């Protein structure tokens, strides 16, 4: 059994881990996160990328203003 990249706890097969679970899922071989951990990681990544893009936009704006003002 593999472990979650974020929390380091074991990953369980979703379809068969439930009571009377008979379903299997095709992504089991490649799964790296628990659902909760994946959502937290994606939310964090989104915020980091959003902040980076804001910084980039501010930098571009400041550069343009400098060029306009300085001629």
Tokens matching residue 44 = 């964090």
Sign of torsion over alpha carbons 15, 8, 27, 46: positive
CA distance readout (Å), 61 to 4, 16, 51, 52, 70 = 41, 54, 15, 14, 14
| pTM confidence score | 0.49
SS3 35: helix
Q: What does the mean pLDDT of the chain come to?
A: 75
C-alpha 30/C-alpha 66 separation (Å) is: 49
Task: Break the chain into its structural domains and give their ranges.
Answer: 14-70
Ranges of residues in the chain with a pLDDT under 70 are 1, 13-28, 50-57, 71
């Amino acid at each position: 059994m593999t472990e979650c990249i974020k929390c380091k706890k074991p990953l369980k097969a979703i379809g068969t881990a439930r009571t009377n679970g008979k379903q299997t899922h095709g992504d089991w071989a490649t799964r790296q996160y628990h659902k909760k951990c994946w959502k937290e990681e994606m939310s964090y990544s989104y915020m980091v990328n959003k902040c980076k893009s804001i910084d980039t936009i501010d930098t571009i704006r400041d550069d343009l203003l400098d060029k306009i003002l300085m001629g």
